[in-house]
Structure 1
Amino acid sequence: MIRFSVLAMAAAAVLGVASPALAQMPTPLPAEALVDEVDAAKVDWLKGHVVADGPVAGGLSFTFPSDFYGAKLILLGESHGVAAPQIVDLELLTHLNARIGLRDYLAEVDPVQGAMLNRYLETGDEAVLDRVFDFWTESGAQWGNTAFETKVRGIRALNESLPEAQRVRFLGVDAIQDWPLFGEWIAAEGGTIDAAALATAAGNRADRAALADLALAAVATLPEQTPETARLTKVLQDLKAGAGREATIFNAYSGAVTSGELGDRPAYGLWGFFHVLQSGANGATPFAAMVKASDLPAANRMVSIVLHSLDSAVQIPAPLPTGLQRLRLTQFNIDGPFVKVQGSATLRAATEPGRITIFDPRGEDSPVEGGDFVGLNTSVQRFTLDEPTAPVDAYVQYVGVFRDSDWAAPRE
């Protein structure tokens, strides 16, 4: 929902820390921006249209309508750094695997990271899992947390209980995150890459992608091809051409569908809040909106679910004068002081402490209005819906709230 850099700035502001890297400190939203009234009609509607519910520590029950299970793409959106969404993710994935045989996990990781995670799922080699997570830990990404790592182990445990044809696999479709890992993967595939040139090109994504594409082209002459190769080629070509991140993700997903790697099978994954929005925000087009505007099977058979936090803590890596520190903060819930979601008071009134609840806000008689539960006001980053009065399902189909979740604790 909010980029790491501005969250880090806000974290420093909360702590009263000054740093040359944090020259402009954000301030909390003004008190009048946090004023919100409970809408009783909306509370009643939400309480009557619960599709998932359970303790914040896990053990959810799912009662989605039948059309939910016909979706070709199901996206769960969150703000990274909290434990509860990782719990929802594993339990919803397990439910979809049992209910419709879903096994393709569309992940917010690059194709090489996805290949490494699949290797861990197959082998249980903890060194492989460590290699993927060490990058996020060392780079300061919020993905470097124990909740995410525990979830991946949970997916492996799920797979161990399933016949081979039903086991879950990762499809990494994001832009390259870990360039050294790419070099290691190329070497393992029998190729080579000029590591010194790759390091020299640091900061220039197009140049790095060009070097990587040359190395991959050599690997592509080998008779044994992996599904990751085609997706990786698409990602690198997009990066060379200067494509934005959302377009890169969309093109990799589209290629997986049209090539037959994914084909007509449904896919599911956990993503950041912005990526799952089906209409524009800040004048930009999210991944889900690109799918909706496409001719792919998922265009009219896509579901987006957003999860909001109340009374919860978040992990925010902050570059402080003493070095990178991962902070446990409670000021980033949807009712302030830095973030305010339209209708947060109503969401609080419709939920209970210590629980995760997902609602269906749609319906002919629904009192839910345009912008409700999706519109944001934030003091740390501009966020404006391009269609602020559009019905909520122009952006998402389901809205979830978790209360009293702990942070996604950092890895040691």
Structure 2
Amino acid sequence: MIKSSILAGVAVAVMLCASSAMAQMPPPLPAEALVDRADPAKVEWLRANVVADGPVTGGLSFDFPAEFYQQKLILLGESHGVAAPQVLDLELLTLLNARAGLTDYLAEVDPVQGAMLNQYLETGDEAVLDRVFDYWSGSGAQWGNTAFEAKVRGIRALNLTLPAERRVRILGIDAIQDWPLFAQWIQEKGGTADAEMLVAAAADRANPEPLADMALAAVASLTTQTPETARLSGVLGDLRAKAGREATIFNTYSRAVTSGELGDRPAYGLWGLFHIMQSGVNGARSFAARVKASDLPAARAMSSIIVLSLESWVQIPAPTPQGVQRMRLNMLNIDGPYVMVQGAATLKAASEPGQITLFNPRAAGSPLAGGDFMNIQSSVQRFALDEPNAPIDSYVQYVGVFRGSDWAAPRE
């Protein structure tokens, strides 16, 4: 399962305890932790500094400052399993394509999955799309949902309206997820790869060198080497070096920039909340924090956007004795009972039911305090900012909330 955001991890932990294999649900947060009152001054200021607004089902209007369209890296952060962020993602991508000429979608998928998704974008072959999504559906990952699938179809529909040089392509920069798909892709390209041996080697997580060596040999067996295969080899080299997931994501992005595959072009993508945080959380450095500390062009030209849920439903894949069960839950919003975000009541008062609303917390005259909308308490998982009293823009540049979204329904 892709545990790519703190809130997604919270949700998984809740459902593990809620499954029939466990005795009981974990306790909710104590009553005193759930006390939160809207601050009228902050509500008024937020309402005056909206940069995006519209229904959770789509049709948003945008009013970002001009600098937003000049960024080299824009990251949207969500807690997976809800439909509204997928809607926002497609509309932001469409906006950036139109206003900034952005064509590179930086995805929380591995290079082979990204290549297969690009094949679908080019051909419309539903069997290709099914093959990528079948892995997530079968493994219990929250990416196995109809909202994500509809978004990919939406990107293809967008591309069909654009000239070739303006069409969106997907860059997968994550660690390898689907080893059988990796083998299939190598074989289809004329190389040699043994899926069974790769899967067997992948089972030994503590000793990744044999798996990495086998996979690198498979890539080397291809007669044609491209920037795409170079990116893939880099991911496999990081696997061999036990680099860790965040380091792999950063290294792959960095190599795409410095090699010229991405170069100086801007990139945008949807990621789990933790990945887009620009300062440390729980003593760990995310992808965005690593970019910020680097000498890459995006270090000085990056915007992170966080979107938080209220009155919404989330899809949680829960392991049970009967197999993975997809649960539809509404107890994991940012105002309790299991998760509490500092300032949740203020966000609620500044927004409307059934809407997605993004705010600019860096606008002039901000009354926001350090930790507003960033400090998260949970009853099942630790979430601690390394700089708990730092200004919001130490972590993100835009804060959003969506209210009344349905879950991202499972495909099956």
How would you bin the TM-score normalised by the shorter chain? Answer: over 0.9
Unpaired runs of 5+ residues, structure 2, are none
Counterpart position of 1:118:
118
Counterpart position of 1:257:
257
Decide whether the 8 Å contact of 2:307 with 2:399 is kept in 1.
yes
1:348 and 2:348 are equivalent in the alignment: yes
- Give the whole-Å Cα distance in 2 for the aligned partners of 1:5 and 1:383: 10
1:10 and 2:21 are equivalent in the alignment: no
TM-score scaled by length of structure 1 = 0.96
CA shift digits 1:176-206 (9 cap, x unpaired): 0111100101111211123332232132341
SS of match in other structure, 1:284: coil
Decide whether the 8 Å contact of 1:137 with 1:144 is kept in 2.
yes
Counterpart position of 2:397:
397
- Give the whole-Å Cα distance in 1 for the aligned partners of 2:99 and 2:407: 30
Which amino acid is 2:165 matched to? A
CA root-mean-square deviation: 1.4
SS of match in other structure, 1:337: coil
1:386 and 2:390 are equivalent in the alignment: no
Counterpart position of 2:212:
209
- Give the whole-Å Cα distance in 1 for the aligned partners of 2:106 and 2:176: 15
Worse-matched range after superposition: 318-327 or 154-163: 318-327
1:322 offset after TM fit, Å? 2.3
Decide whether the 8 Å contact of 2:8 with 2:80 is kept in 1.
no
Decide whether the 8 Å contact of 1:144 with 1:410 is kept in 2.
yes
Over 3 Å counting, the alpha-carbon distance change for 1:64 and 1:372 in structure 2 is: same
The equivalences for 1:36-75 within 5 A come to: 36-75=36-75
SS of match in other structure, 2:76: strand
The equivalences for 1:127-142 within 5 A come to: 127-142=127-142
- Give the whole-Å Cα distance in 2 for the aligned partners of 1:196 and 1:140: 21
CA shift digits 1:256-282 (9 cap, x unpaired): 000111100000000000000000000
1:109 offset after TM fit, Å? 0.2
1:215 offset after TM fit, Å? 1.3
Decide whether the 8 Å contact of 1:89 with 1:270 is kept in 2.
yes
Which amino acid is 2:62 matched to? F
- Give the whole-Å Cα distance in 1 for the aligned partners of 2:281 and 2:256: 26
The equivalences for 1:8-407 within 5 A come to: 8-13=12-17, 15=18, 17-19=19-21, 22=22, 25-205=25-205, 206=208, 207-219=210-222, 222=223, 224-407=224-407
1:145 offset after TM fit, Å? 0.1
SS of match in other structure, 2:242: coil
Which amino acid is 2:31 matched to? A
- Give the whole-Å Cα distance in 1 for the aligned partners of 2:113 and 2:373: 33
TM-score scaled by length of structure 2 = 0.96
Which amino acid is 2:11 matched to? L
CA shift digits 1:343-401 (9 cap, x unpaired): 10100010010111000011452111111111110112111000001100000000010
Extract structure 1 runs of 4+ deviating beyond 4 A: 3-6, 22-25
Over 3 Å counting, the alpha-carbon distance change for 1:240 and 1:3 in structure 2 is: farther
Which amino acid is 1:181 matched to? L
- Give the whole-Å Cα distance in 2 for the aligned partners of 1:331 and 1:202: 35
SS of match in other structure, 1:332: coil
1:6 offset after TM fit, Å? 5.2
Over 3 Å counting, the alpha-carbon distance change for 1:3 and 1:370 in structure 2 is: closer
- Give the whole-Å Cα distance in 1 for the aligned partners of 2:230 and 2:383: 34
Decide whether the 8 Å contact of 1:8 with 1:319 is kept in 2.
no
Identity %: 70
- Give the whole-Å Cα distance in 1 for the aligned partners of 2:188 and 2:119: 13
1:70 offset after TM fit, Å? 0.6
Over 3 Å counting, the alpha-carbon distance change for 1:5 and 1:301 in structure 2 is: closer
Decide whether the 8 Å contact of 2:106 with 2:172 is kept in 1.
yes
- Give the whole-Å Cα distance in 1 for the aligned partners of 2:76 and 2:272: 8
